[in-house]
Chain A
Amino acid sequence: MIENEHLLTVTPHQMPAGPLVLRVTGELDHHSAPLLSRAVDDAAFDDTGVVLDLSGLTYCDSTGITVLIGAYQRSQRTGAPLILAGVNPDQMRVFTVVGLDQVFTFHPSTEAAVAALAK
């Protein structure tokens, strides 16, 4: 069941000559996670990279984390750089406890992430 999907929105935006930005807004939990999972599956992972903009994420449970790790695994397979942008301090604390701070590349904002990928 994905009945709570409406609590989560994922908006893809292809930057001109830049990365694909997936803006994730709302609650990412075991009800809504399939929505992001599909968006990650549908996204083109190529040299220009992918940015997950999490600045609008208000909640992320363990199933949400599996989807983020899934995106990381995809980026490892394809060689496409992946950046998490705009992670709030509470969420960052959760990432640090589970050791994902050592796994992902973080930037404070989508702008900073896009600029870093352009280099």
Chain B
Amino acid sequence: MTVSPVRTVPEASADEAARLAAVRRYRILDTPPDGAFDRIAALAARLFDAPMATVSIVDTDRVWFKAVHGLQGVTEIDRGPGLCASAILRGEPYVVPDAGADAGAFADPLVRGEPGVRFYAAAPITTADGQRLGTVDVLDTRPRRPTEDQLQALQDLAALVMDELELRLSAMRTVAAERERRAEAERLARALQRTLLPPALPEVPGLHAAAAYHTASPDEVGGDFYDLFPLNDGRWAFFLGDVCGKGADAAALTSLTRYTLRAAAIYDPDPCAALANLDAVLKGEYQGSDPRYCTAVFGVLRPLPDGSHAITLAGGGHPSALAVRGDGSVEPISTMGGQLVGMLPDPQFVRTSTRLRPGESLLLYTDGLTEARTAGGTMLGEDGLTRRLTATAPRTAHELLDSVEGLLRQLGDGVSDDTALLALSVPPPPTPRIQENR
């Protein structure tokens, strides 16, 4: 068998590299069968009244069939010497009237073996910049001569395949651009959200404070917030909460909530008044068809001469704070009955008070923690959190935070919402052997 070397060796040239780059660009190889291309192959066969037709893409070392008509069970053949490999070398229709009389064509496995192809006509699928990706071709087991009309129609079908590929590429690019745009929006919202948390907690005399923000999903920004700041009479105020919704809207609501609470605290540091003030502001800002709410706990700390701190808390629809007492017991500081802020006609806020003695700590958290699912599928709840704190017996704000962050790590994917944590502790009295826990 004599074979022309020009036809057998795939061009290892820059041209071939550019052609393969074009093939890759359309991301068509190894995609599942597709009605549009199947119909084009069927139409090509019908135009020639031929038993077989394919839509073929020529890869580095194989000819891959995007669509086949009348060729059972063939998905690709080697790109050795052969019909399709020859066809893409030309910019015009390629016709082999009788493969039995054509040495180059005879190398093709479809000619030598089953189904014993004798007639072959192909039109190249050519990109706008002249790269030939493959062919639309027609095959028959009898030698024959196609008409000019048939070859023209075959070229039209190849152009149709090219149009379809362009359309799909443009759709893929649109989807990719949209995905990128959304990811960028989420990154911005996340960055904005970060600016809404205090960069570092202030030093409060006689108190330890620690805070953390736990992100559940990189692409859905929650609106949890916390803050700790001095009032002008030696007292300190703090708050922690969660706004409804996700993304940039939630970040904007968080911003409004945080600044409103800080301003309200200076105007009237009564915790219930601060929440009532926030309620009025949210109702004013988000009236009409797009109402928003938040839940929050707001507290005021007053240092007492014996080193303990008196704490007054008000809750608006927020989970109970938990106090870890000196004996290791965990006590809910409940504001149950308090209602969410910003949407109800006449919301109730519930006030409570407690005292934090040396060696005791207090945890505020958002419901991302307590609504997390445990491995058993049940909600963690206040009970689960209480069990954790009882078992780990944290003595300081940092130990308290470590304990809860360990729990969050254990819960893993069970945590479906962002969680903010704020821990406060009064340092234990110094003992002869141990100066201080941390």
Contacts and interface: CB of A to CB of B under 8 A. Distances in A.
Contacts of A62: 242-245, 293
A100 interface: yes
A69 B291 contact: yes
B244 A66 contact: yes
A63 interface: yes
A98 B339 contact: yes
A90 B379 contact: yes
B371 interface: yes
Given A63-B244, A97-B317, A97-B367, A102 B339 contact: yes
Contacts of B378: 90
Contacts of B379: 90, 93
A98 B317 contact: yes
A66 B367 contact: no
B246 A69 contact: no
Interface residues of A, number: 20
A16 interface: no
Interface in A22-78: 30, 61-63, 65-66, 69-70, 73, 76
Given A65-B244, A90-B379, A99 B293 contact: no
A97 B319 contact: yes
A103 interface: yes
B291 A99 contact: no
B381 interface: yes
Q: By CB atoms of chain A within 10 A, which of B293, B340, B345 has the most?
A: B340
B343 A99 contact: no
A69 B367 contact: no
Contacts of A100: 317, 339-340
What does DSSP make chain A's interface, helix, strand, loop or mixed?
helix
A102 B318 contact: no
B146 interface: no
Interface residues of B, number: 30
Nearest to B350: A99
Contacts of B336: 96-97
A97 B245 contact: no
Given A98-B340, A99-B348, A30 B291 contact: no
A93 to B, nearest CB: 7
B292 interface: yes
B318 A97 contact: yes
Nearest to B318: A97
A117 interface: no
A69 B338 CA distance: 16
A100 B339 CA distance: 7
B246 A66 contact: no
B348 A102 contact: yes
B377 to A, nearest CB: 10
A93 B378 CA distance: 13
B344 A66 contact: no
B417 interface: yes
27 contacts: A62-B242, A62-B243, A62-B245, A63-B244, A65-B293, A65-B340, A66-B244, A66-B245, A66-B292, A66-B343, A69-B291, A69-B293, A69-B343, A73-B291, A97-B295, A97-B318, A97-B367, A98-B339, A99-B337, A99-B338, A99-B340, A99-B344, A99-B347, A99-B348, A100-B317, A102-B337, A103-B339
Interface of A: 30, 61-63, 65-66, 69-70, 73, 76, 90, 93-94, 96-100, 102-103
Interface of B: 242-247, 291-293, 295, 316-319, 336-340, 343-345, 347-348, 367, 371, 378-379, 381, 417
